[in-house]
Amino acid sequence: MKAAAKNILKVRRAPRIETELIVPGDKSISHRAVLLSAISNGRCTITNFLEGEDCRSTARAMRQLGVEIETPEPGTVIVEGNRGIFRAPEGDIDCGNSGTTMRLMAGLLSPQKFRSKMTGDPSLSNRPMRRVIEPLQEMGARLQAEGEKQCPPLTIVGGPLEGITYRLPVASAQVKSAVLLAGLFAKGTTTVIESVRSRDHTERMFEYFLIKFRREEIWEGTCPVGRKLKEIRISLDGGQIPESRDFRVPGDISSAAFWLVAAAAQPGSRLLVKDVGLNPTRTGIIDVLIRMGARIREVVETSAHGEPAGTVDIKGIQLHATEVRGAEIPNVIDEIPAIAVAAALAEGTTVIRDAKELRVKETDRIAAVATNLRAMGVEVEEFPDGMAITGGKPLKGARMQSFGDHRIAMAFAVAGLFASGETVIEDTDCVLTSYPTFFETLKKIQKGTGIGRRTPVISSLGGGKTRRRKKA
Ligand code: S3P
């Protein structure tokens, strides 16, 4: 049988960017908004919900468990919370490409009174599940991964759970969230300890949905300047039901990252991204680009529903190399393909370390980035936990794979905007998992449709709290 034709994307060099844009709703927050609404005590309307395939997988899974969800218009979902009392699903729960769906759902399915099985596409079927299996088993759940090396499918025989104290062995917001969600249904207190700060959307949403929890930061050293974060402890008592509330999802900074890199690396470019999430556990991309020389102004305009959001104003320049490692990694983990493209366009050698998690994302992102950058003529040294990228030479257009990974496809579409000739990326349907309107925005960027010199860009940034970041 002939394999089905997969979409390809062709990209050519673009003029400098002078535009403003918005990006779709945040993926991590959209998942959590549906899950928290579904276990709440009533009706919740979620707006600016990301209509990407991953978040649809979460909504579909909830429907399969008996939660009523309506979508009256694109981007709006109305969820009838059922206090976490789910119905046994008919058939397997297909999580598609979404690791977040499977891992967070594992936390919600573990305390149920029925057996369930979660499956995924070939990429998800290769992603490690031991990281959620171990803590949930410790809480009393019976989970089993049927794939090799504890990979999906994941079968869960639900039952009563006990609270535990769990120190995260990997900095993972998905694992933290799975344990905390299970903790809501467990007897006693559940505590999760993280020694590296990971994205905190679950905690912020708990606060917004009026779940009581304690969060404590423990620091090493007494001097406020030199002190180092030792750990963060989050504890909650079981038996709590979220209070139903409406929720608006801000734009996804991880989607904005592609355009931030495209603008930052082009001297003379100017880009405004509006209504984008500016949660400090996610804005590491801005710090990295500032260290590389980009001029960026970030204005937090609202903190409605617990998540800061606002505008990022960025001016392009010849970038220079930087280092990305250590505690910064979880904050930029999804942006590393885009950062690698920035590195290829920057003068000098950029080093990325402590990022071995990239090996177990939608694809092995270290190998994928290295392969594609080399195809474009860039010198890349691969390490088990990262890479060194020597940039500054002109990029050559090339034909390359997305490896079925949305962020690889989008990062190399951006690289194509800077390359000579044509860049062809194969198998780009995966982009729909997180950024359904990416291709439209790419067209706009390629056409160079702009805000024009007369647009009062700066005055449009009034009213919020401005944080100018300095070069490190
Ligand atoms: C996510 C957490 C991160 C991130 C993923 C989304 C989340 O994964 O890479 O895209 O929504 O919690 P890990 O928790 O595995 O680091």
Pick the CATH number of 2-25+250-469 from 3.40.50.720, 3.65.10.10, 1.10.238.10, 3.20.20.70: 3.65.10.10
Angle at 151 between CA 252 and CA 28, to 5 degrees: 15
Q: How far apart are CA 317 and CA 415, in angstroms?
A: 16
Q: What residues does each domain of the chain span?
A: 2-25+250-469, 27-248
Pairing of the two strands 165-167 and 189-194: parallel
Check if the beta carbon of residue 99 is closer than 8 Å to that of residue 76: no
pTM: predicted TM-score of the whole model, two decimal places: 0.95
Check if the beta carbon of residue 348 is closer than 8 Å to that of residue 320: yes
Give the pLDDT confidence of 215-225 residue by residue, as tens digits. Answer: 999 999 877 77
Does the annotation mark 334 as catalytic?
Answer: yes
Residue of 94, 200, 313, 334 marked active site: 334
State the pLDDT at residue 104: 98
β partners of residue 144: 155
The answer to whether domain 2-25+250-469 and domain 27-248 are alike in fold is yes
User: Can you state the angle between helices 130-138 and 173-183, rounded to 10 degrees?
Assistant: 30
- DSSP string for residues in 53-101: HHHHHHHHHHHHTT-EEEEEETTEEEEE--TT-PPPPSS-EE-TT-HHH
State the pLDDT at residue 5: 55
* 362: nearest Cα among 418, 413, 427, 436: 427
State the pLDDT at residue 459: 36
Share the mean pLDDT of the chain: 94
Contacts (Cβ under 8 Å, ≥6 apart) of 226: none
- DSSP string for residues in 379-413: EEEEETTEEEEEE-SPPBP-EEE-TT-HHHHHHHH
State the pLDDT at residue 165: 98
- CA dihedral sign, ordered 417, 281, 310, 248: positive
State the pLDDT at residue 466: 52
Give the pLDDT confidence of 299-322 residue by residue, as tens digits. Answer: 999 998 999 999 999 999 999 999
State the pLDDT at residue 457: 42
State the pLDDT at residue 446: 86
The answer, yes or no, to whether any atom of ligand 1 lies below 6 A from the CB of 173, is: yes
- pLDDT < 50 positions in the chain: 1-3, 451-460, 462-465, 470-472
State the pLDDT at residue 471: 42
For residue 27, which atom of ligand 1 is closest to its CA?
A: 11
Among 202, 333, 410, which residue has the most ligand 1 atoms within 8 Å of its CB, making it the best to mutate? 333
Fold of 27-248: UDP-n-acetylglucosamine1-carboxyvinyl-transferase; Chain (3.65.10)
State the pLDDT at residue 6: 75
Pairing of the two strands 93-94 and 309-315: unpaired
